[in-house]
Structure 1
């Protein structure tokens, strides 16, 4: 058995062990190592080689465990530039949420929730990603635990799981430190566990993650947080029901629900405001329909998704995704 820090111990008996796989580029010629890694993770994220990186050795190893409907990966890599584009999202079936728990190292430049948005580095902390939203980041040399969780699971724990996208929780936050410690401990034991026990521990960590992000958004905790969560859910339901209507706007939401503007603004401040949140949902819907229904003219999709004019739609689409709606439909678009 390879002597590697992310391949611990001996497995449980075959009948009850977790599903396990392991991959390491160490056996590849050094000039093929990054390409081998790109081939391994390419079904989820695109790896964009940095300058002269293909000519250098690359360290990359990943162990994956599946139990209780949750995937748990333990990964060690050198610096990587990775992205998930709207073109890939519109063509693949990956729709889970990913929580990156950094045991060492972290991310540098991160763009995600809105065009050209950059967050501070995440070092020894937690980063949340919605795999249904674009992201690009430089991830420095690190060891990172990642939990892939379905939307169905998270929707029972968070009012709007999509809001975790691109949001970081520093290791100085007590609940984040607890999560990091539990993940590090589980990484050393999970392969020896029966599947039921591993699933129990993974679900417990997911509940902690949901609590951490809920607290960060002010939607968990005291009675005021519960009231905010109820208001947030009320606004979300109204938006989703009326998303196709061009008349939907922050003002129409406030008028229909009788809510105070300052209260709603604070709820969606982390999204850049309610108007930006509505537009993001419309753009995600439009991107899906552009690919799913190539025979429908772009202008018709724009109107169906609530945009007042095709030109408004095209400008917003290009700002958000750095391509035009027509380019998304091109067969040569990256996937």
Structure 2
């Protein structure tokens, strides 16, 4: 069974405490181990097991430490497929940032947004960051991974658009990343015996180092020129949000309205796949939200309301991005809980707890 304990209350009045829980599938004798694990992590992300997966042995254990609004986990697990779909995102409020530090093993495939991989695959000695408000699917190998879950405000201190770091990977090849790994390893070894104050400081230090590393990778921090780029990016993003429903919103219209250098503007959104892709992504995200929030609006009304030229254009774009038609997405998201389909011999199944 899962054990939840509070550290001894030896802190001054008003000081935070560490909430620690431990879970190991070996203790779940009443349930198939992979299904027990699916239930344990289902409040954050879905496990997609195939029948073949269920027939194989599975081992996993996790220690979770919570200090104020920060969470640190140390997890060892066998290979599995993890998925956080747009349909899932529309039904829960989790919008933290997860910094995954792979101490052993890694990820053999990770897809973000439009079901395409983004850059290098995380391996042992690398860091993967995810925004829990965006879709992701990953095939994780047998691994040990330490994860820090951070509220958006902290990541926002560095990134003008923190969602831009979703799916980014950094290898342990610089003095800064080496320092990160040393801190995280020390934290995993010592946190059980640390005071809440010391643990909170250690988690925040590791987080700030990781945010700084990703900021440098994206060239969004470190000097006055980077600060100017960040301010410009924020200005463009605000303009796009304000005009998202206008049919004539396009990279050209943004250039004309804001009078920015073309190459500078394109470089700002290179990490998003281009300015046009960024606009389309925001429109599709808003459309997905409206499909759930306004079940009586027709797909055509939603499409035209967000600047698409026709419902067929919208349906094609939505299907390319999210692997299902808008009507199917609405039907799936409208259920109070995900259905538990029969387990296929070869195909993974999406199940939420």
**Number of residue-to-residue matches in the alignment:** 328
- 2:342 counterpart residue number: none
What is the CA-CA distance between 1:51 and the residue it aligns to? 6.1
- How far apart in 1 are the matches of 2:120 and 2:75? 22
- How far apart in 2 are the matches of 1:20 and 1:203? 17
Q: RMSD across aligned C-alpha pairs, in angstroms? A: 2.2
- 1:281 counterpart residue number: 282
What is the CA-CA distance between 1:121 and the residue it aligns to? 2.2
- How far apart in 1 are the matches of 2:200 and 2:176? 20
- 1:227 counterpart residue number: 228
What aligned pairs does 1:1-335 form with structure 2 within 5 A after superposition?
Answer: 12-14=7-9, 16=11, 17-29=17-29, 32-50=32-50, 52-117=52-117, 119-123=119-123, 124-330=125-331, 331=335, 335=352
Do 1:30 and 1:58's aligned partners in 2 also have CA atoms closer than 8 Å?
Answer: no
- For normalisation by structure 2, the TM-score amounts to 0.87
Farther off after superposition, 235-244 or 190-199: 190-199
Do 1:126 and 1:170's aligned partners in 2 also have CA atoms closer than 8 Å?
Answer: yes
Do 2:6 and 2:20's aligned partners in 1 also have CA atoms closer than 8 Å?
Answer: no
Farther off after superposition, 188-197 or 281-290: 188-197
Do 2:108 and 2:138's aligned partners in 1 also have CA atoms closer than 8 Å?
Answer: yes
What is the CA-CA distance between 1:205 and the residue it aligns to? 1.8
Structure 1 unmatched runs, 5+: none
Do 1:235 and 1:253's aligned partners in 2 also have CA atoms closer than 8 Å?
Answer: yes
- How far apart in 2 are the matches of 1:105 and 1:296? 46
What is the CA-CA distance between 1:207 and the residue it aligns to? 1.5
- How far apart in 2 are the matches of 1:89 and 1:148? 16
Farther off after superposition, 33-42 or 233-242: 233-242
Farther off after superposition, 299-308 or 99-108: 299-308
Farther off after superposition, 172-181 or 141-150: 172-181
- How far apart in 1 are the matches of 2:253 and 2:87? 32
What is the CA-CA distance between 1:252 and the residue it aligns to? 1.1
| Deviation sequence 1:257-282 (CA, Å, 0-9, x none) | 11111111111111110110111111
Runs of 4+ in 1 over 6 A off after TM superposition: none
Structure 2 unmatched runs, 5+: 12-16, 340-349
Do 2:246 and 2:306's aligned partners in 1 also have CA atoms closer than 8 Å?
Answer: yes
